[in-house]
Structure 1
Amino acid sequence: MSIGFGIFLMAVGAIVAWAVPALWAVEGANWTLIGYILLAAGALVTLFGIIMAARAGRSTSVSRSRVDPDTGTRVERTERNDDLL
Structure 2
Amino acid sequence: MSVGLGIFLFVVGAVLVWALNVSVTWIDLDLVGYILMSAGALIFVIGLVFMFRRRKSISTVRTIADPESSQQVTRKDTSIDDR
TM category (shorter chain) comes to 0.5 to 0.7
Task: Determine the C-alpha separation between the residues in 1 that align with 2:54 and 2:3.
Answer: 14
- TM-score, normalising length from structure 1? 0.66
**1:62 matches 2:59:** yes
Larger CA Rg, structure 1 vs 2: 2
Residues 6-45 of structure 1: pairs in structure 2 closer than 5 A: 6-20=6-20, 22=21, 24-45=22-43
Query: Segments of 4+ in structure 1 off by > 6 A?
Result: none
- Structure 2, unpaired ranges of 5+: 65-83
What CA distance in whole angstroms lies between the structure 1 residues aligned with 2:62 and 2:43? 41
CA deviation digits over 1:19-71, x for unaligned, max 9?
22x1x2211210000000000000000000110011012x112345567xxxx
Distance in 1 (alpha carbons) for counterparts of 2:13 and 2:61: 50
Percent of aligned pairs with the same amino acid: 38
Across the two proteins, how many residue pairs are aligned to each other? 64
TM-score (norm: length of structure 2): 0.68
